[in-house]
Structure 1
Amino acid sequence: MPGEGPAGEVLRLLTVTRPLFIALGDERRQEIIVFLLESGTARSVGDVAARLGLSQPATSHHLKILRDAGLLTVQRIGAQRLYALNGADYVRLLTPLRDLTTTIIACAAAPGDASGGS
């Protein structure tokens, strides 16, 4: 039956990690993550837009997706929003991704057992 055993666990973990894959699946969002890592400090939409050569609306769109996935935090200072990496939650966010890869590797090593039964 679908959804049981290791295959069911893979399906569950894919569901849990989907927002992370969506957020990191875009090259511009990857560039934002790298920029924030390099800068080591919170940055405004304008800072990110200038660095990446994007419009502010496009940058805001990408930042929202990263924030919604839990990868960024936002702090309001007056009318400005400053975005930073959400390092405090990275272990929580990335643990299901680690579990997913571990489960897939285990299933690949024993392909006949992936369905949880015959």
Structure 2
Amino acid sequence: MSGSIDARDVLALFARTRPLFTALGDERRQEIVVHLLESAAPRSVGDIAAHLELSQPATSHHLKILRDAGLLTVRRKGTLRLYDLNAAAYPDLLTPMGDLITLIISCASDLGEQPNDR
């Protein structure tokens, strides 16, 4: 890393974004996010499971990971649990990820400008 980059800062950004990377790193969870983006209303576990052709327990597992990462909200309506995107939290969730990506790109550019001593 270049002299202006503090490894502790980079590691702190990785730690802060780890839950988001974990949550979005699975193809099924990506499909859930896309399904909710396309939906006009919150969706039940059963609806999401049917759309993805997954079992309800597997869908619940994925929803919990997305919810724990702050990407989803859940509310009860009778016996149903309805899941929706937590859009209000997205700027706070995604800004550190953007900062990390910018930092990595900057470091990669710095490395590309240096002679190849490796």
Q: Which amino acid aligns with 2:93?
A: L
Normalising by structure 1, we get a TM-score of: 0.87
Task: Give 1:83's aligned residue.
Answer: 83
Runs in 1 of length 4+ with deviation above 4 angstroms?
A: none
Counterpart-to-counterpart distance in 1, 2:34 and 2:13: 25
Structure 1: 5+ residue stretches without partners? 113-118
* Paired position in structure 2 for 1:39: 39
- Pairwise CA distance, 1:75: 0.7
Q: Distance in 2 between matches of 1:10 and 1:40?
A: 38
User: How does the TM-score come out when normalised to structure 2?
Assistant: 0.87
5+ residue gaps, structure 2 = 113-118
Partner of 2:100: 100
Tell me by how many angstroms 1:71 deviates: 0.3
**Aligned-pair RMSD on alpha carbons?**
1.5
* Paired AA for residue 31 in structure 1: E
Tell me the SS of whatever aligns to 1:41.
Answer: coil
Distance (Å, rounded) in 2 between the aligned partners of 1:62 and 1:31: 10
SS at match of 2:84: strand
Q: What is the DSSP-based 3-state SS (H/G/I as helix, E as strand, rest coil) of the residue aligned with 2:6?
A: helix
Given that residues 29 and 66 in structure 1 are in contact (C-alpha distance below 8 angstroms), is that contact kept between their aligned partners in structure 2? yes
**Count of residues in correspondence between the two structures:** 109
Aligned to 2:69: 69
Deviation at 1:32, TM superposition (A): 0.3
Q: Distance in 2 between matches of 1:40 and 1:81?
A: 16
Q: How big is the shift at 1:70?
A: 0.3
Work out which structure has the larger RCO, using CA pairs closer than 8 Å and 6 or more positions apart in sequence. Answer: 1
Q: What is the aligned partner in structure 1 of residue 53 from structure 2? A: 53
Q: Cα distance, 1:79 vs. partner?
A: 1.3
Q: What per-residue deviation string (whole Å, max 9, x for no partner) do you get for residues 1-23 of structure 1? A: xxx94332221111100000110
**Letter aligned with residue 76 of structure 2:** R
Q: Deviations over 1:3-57 (max 9, x none)?
A: x943322211111000001100111000000000011310000000000001111
Which piece of structure 1 moves more, 83-92 or 32-41? 32-41
